[in-house]
Chains A and B, each alone.
Chain A
């Protein structure tokens, strides 16, 4: 094979998506399985996003074992499975706005700010227009964020691989953990606790000694805690318990759902787009910048995007225009562009550093680990003249993201606007079924009853964490990164000849460690609220 250059890898990635195994042929044009899976993922994502109580995370948790059962454990499975997950991620962000606008019930937490202007617009008979604005802003923000990801991730990875040795990489992982602990949720102390518990959980039953550590000599703990059981337990089952409790507390006092009748012009005109575009641009920049930091979620981006746009709007609004919070289309645009532009940028740390920045990235890493053949991190972006299959997969993933955006632009909006009916599914029936489906999916993947016990137990832990306003995300990220921190530290310690100060010897590593401490102590000085 001839020596490969950068553009050869880009082209191979595109071909891997479009010329992979054929799913079916449409008018003589072959449609690959990966393209079909991206489309399925997007549709499922929009559906779960539009269903209050569900969301992208639950859909990914349930889909992953099914997808692995279908595609098996080989490298050919990577793009269809990860493409599907990317579709779900993008679709759920768009779909979350549907119940927020139509029924004042955010389908996903980051769509909360959308209710502020979306619901008043729907009440004044402009529901369809509000949905169109939401869709346009969301997909524009998402596309912008993906472009930034595709441009930045390879450069960041190359920089890291060129300049960071083992001690620096260990320090960078510690910095990431402390940053996530400090910024996710409202309290650095609680973030640190969540992270510490995640680290402790991953170290049980693992290690290099013959005796599996911290296992009390029991068979159940000696193989360690399955990563899927811990992640799904704390994130998904804990959230299901919490949501069920809200319903239990309401004692079914929600009543019938009222839908406003549509009135007036529902079309999205060029003048409307011109009017909302400055708000979309501003929020997309804010969301992408915030999203590139590991652990900073779309809810924060939506809040900052909304608040910043509100200031701009107050100065420029004409007399007679609705204010923010009273049905201003600019409010929907600002929120949706900000929360959607987080999703692409959130993948910058996972693809360039191997550090998952959000829950969607956690499931991409789970998929990569389960299937094998792709280890997200700086080593992926080695543009070697001999074929680097991981780099082809990385460019294949970028292609699936662009494809998902194209589908979102074309059919996503139409599909999204037809889903208002989903909010009528009673959550008290839906959630227990989703709980059973999640446990069954977990068993299918792990084939062990202990995984079900672990997941249920971690679900209870996740529930209590939420009741103490402790975010479960640092737990999950601590669990995922714990093994890598230990391995890198072992290698760095050996490579430096057993130097106990190896984390402080090189200026870069020392700077990372100081930043890790500074992040925690600076965050201590701020008054704390609850987790988002």
Chain B
């Protein structure tokens, strides 16, 4: 297994995923089969198109075994560290964006957040906190240091986006105010 190339491993993963898709996920999670008989006529069922997708992935997996290649690119440990950190900052930022407005409103607001979602300053809480946290954390991580400059850039970015979308358009709602 030590000599297994990234493309071969990817090919194996594709074959396994395609088989699970075709023989477990599609049969259990789609109502109709590949072809159905309805009122005496044969029609295409909802399973056919996803099965075609599975066939593409399966064929790709098989071809990855046979394809000649000059290089064997794969994600390194450094790549995984980077994307893990970025995913974490994204997760925190989006969660803050979604929940900080309702939480702050429940503590300090007179009404529930849903009724205040188009009223300043409540409507900005989530976007300002979540957005600036996301930008600040990513800038600091990439620079590998925490700086006031990153903080001001993050704040300027959210203020700029609010000025771009919220001030000129009455019918535009910033996240998360459209679907809370």
Contact status A196-B53, CB under 8 Å: yes
**For residue A251, which residue of chain B has the nearest CB?**
B144
**B55-86 Cβ-contact flags toward A at 8 Å (1 or 0):** 11101110110111111011100110011001
Contact status A213-B35, CB under 8 Å: no
> Complex: how many Å from CA A452 to CA B46?
28
CB of A176 to closest CB in B, whole Å:
13
> Complex: how many Å from CA A178 to CA B29?
27
Chain B, interface size category, equals 35 or more
Q: Which of A211, A241, A431, A498 contacts B42 (CB 8 A)?
A: A498
Q: Which of A193, A208, A244, A440 contacts B46 (CB 8 A)?
A: A208
**For residue A216, which residue of chain B has the nearest CB?**
B29
Contact status B135-A463, CB under 8 Å: no
List chain B residues, Cβ under 8 A from A209: 30-32, 46
**B30-45 Cβ-contact flags toward A at 8 Å (1 or 0):** 1110010000011110
Contact status A524-B157, CB under 8 Å: no
A contacts with B, residue count (CB < 8 A)? 77
Most buried by B among A181, A453, A468, A529: A468
List chain A residues, Cβ under 8 A from B129: none
Contact status A429-B57, CB under 8 Å: no
Contact status B142-A244, CB under 8 Å: yes
Known: A436-B157, A467-B75. A443 touches B174 (CB 8 A): yes
A406 within 8 A of partner (CB) = no
Contact status A190-B64, CB under 8 Å: yes
Known: A196-B53, A449-B175. A468 touches B64 (CB 8 A): no
B26 within 8 A of partner (CB) = yes
> Complex: how many Å from CA A197 to CA B127?
32
List chain B residues, Cβ under 8 A from A444: 165, 172-174
> Complex: how many Å from CA A187 to CA B71?
11
> Complex: how many Å from CA A236 to CA B173?
22
CB of B36 to closest CB in A, whole Å:
9
List chain B residues, Cβ under 8 A from A428: 139, 142-143
**For residue A177, which residue of chain B has the nearest CB?**
B56
Most buried by B among A193, A208, A214, A245: A193
CB of A193 to closest CB in B, whole Å:
4
List the 8 shortest-distance A-B pairs measured between CB atoms, nearest first: A196-B56, A498-B42, A447-B178, A189-B63, A193-B60, A199-B53, A207-B46, A196-B57
Which residues of A are at the interface with B, using a C-beta cutoff of 8 A? 66, 69-70, 181, 186-190, 192-193, 195-197, 199-200, 203, 207-211, 213-216, 241, 244-245, 247-249, 251-252, 428-429, 431-433, 435-437, 439-440, 443-444, 447-449, 452-453, 456, 460, 463-464, 467-469, 478, 482, 485-486, 489-490, 493-494, 497-498, 500, 520, 524-530
